[in-house]
Amino acid sequence: DSGVTQTPKHLITATGQRVTLRCSPRSGDLSVYWYQQSLDQGLQFLIQYYNGEERAKGNILERFSAQQFPDLHSELNLSSLELGDSALYFCASSVAGGTADTQYFGPGTRLTVL
Amino acid sequence: ILNVEQSPQSLHVQEGDSTNFTCSFPSSNFYALHWYRWETAKSPEALFVMTLNGDEKKKGRISATLNTKEGYSYLYIKGSQPEDSATYLCASLYSNYQLIWGAGTKLIIKP
């Protein structure tokens, strides 16, 4: 158990809908990362937050947005969902988001868009 | 576009044999190289973080080396065991905090 929690574990929804995925980092970690893993694809980095501020942006679609709250938990919002958004979404956290920081991954949220 | 490549894509190794695989990354503006182990139905787990050219890290039977000038890292597993079966991911961090992940090497240990 990495100490990173993600809810829900599974989510099934329809195209065009909007969902929110939630992540609580390990106690004391200030940085949160979001990743997408689609079928037969590697991990795609979406976005990183550090202490409430956006630090780095990867291949995140405009339909997706994220935020990190004062209590350091983070939410990833996915809107106008398409079939291709079906994937496993991981959240990870690290102490400070520095160059040599280890990232600790949560169990993931599996999103299925029908 | 930054691209991290891992080879081979998959590898079958007899139990007890040693093995190694490669992570290649652009060396310009490089900050750190991460190795993770990802077992099926679990989350990625950190193995090593390396930053300096010539760095070597070891954890039990697994070790890694880093060459930042030529942009590659090797992961070695000595005396493979069935529990080593997993996908091994590397990720390279750059000065803009972009962490670029390779597609992984899937290692299967045959008993």
Say whether B43 and A99 touch across the interface (CB within 8 A). Answer: no
Higher per-residue pLDDT: B41 or B20:
B20
Say whether B98 and A106 touch across the interface (CB within 8 A). Answer: no
Q: Which residue has the tokens 């937050």?
A: A49
B67-97 tens-digit pLDDT: 999 999 999 999 999 999 999 999 998 877 7
pLDDT at residue number A77 = 98
Handedness of CA A75, B102, B11, B72 (dihedral sign): negative
Cβ-based contacts under 8 A for chains A and B: 52
Q: Count CB atoms within 10 A of the CB of residue B109.
A: 20
In B, minimum Cα distance to A96 occurs at B97
- Cα separation of B21 and A47, whole Å? 28
- Cα separation of A13 and A112, whole Å? 6
Q: For B50, how many CA atoms within 13 A lie in the half-sphere containing its CB?
A: 26
Task: For residue A43, give the nearest of B49, B89, B97 by CB distance.
Answer: B89
Residues of A in contact with B51 (CB under 8 A): 99-100
In A, minimum Cα distance to B5 occurs at A42
Cα torsion through A8, A33, B90, A2, rounded to 10: -50
Task: Report the gap between the CA of A104 and the closest CA in chain B (Å).
Answer: 7
Task: Report the gap between the CA of B77 and the closest CA in chain A (Å).
Answer: 21
Task: For residue A90, give the nearest of B43, B46, B98 by CB distance.
Answer: B43
- Find the mean pLDDT for residues B34-53: 93
A43-90 tens-digit pLDDT: 888 999 999 999 988 889 999 999 999 999 999 999 999 999 999 999
B4-29 tens-digit pLDDT: 999 999 999 999 999 999 999 999 88
- Find the mean pLDDT for residues B98-106: 89
- Cα separation of B58 and B69, whole Å? 21
3-class secondary structure, B83: helix
Find which of B97, B98, B100, B101 to mutate to test the A interface (most A CBs within 10 Å of its CB): B97
- 3-state SS of chain A is CCCCEEECCEEEECCCCCEEEEEECCCCCCEEEEEEECCCCCEEEEEEEECCEEEEECCCCCCEEEEECCCCCEEEEECCCCHHHCEEEEEEEECCCCCCCCCEECCCEEEEEC
Nearest partner of B25 among B53, B47, B59, B58, judged by Cα = B53
φ, ψ for residue B31, nearest 5 deg: -120, -45
Handedness of CA A20, A25, A31, A32 (dihedral sign): negative
- What single DSSP character describes residue B81? -
- Token digits for A20? 């929110």
- Token digits for A66? 């994220």
Task: For residue B32, give the nearest of A99, A105, A106 by CB distance.
Answer: A99
Task: Report the gap between the CA of B62 and the closest CA in chain A (Å).
Answer: 17
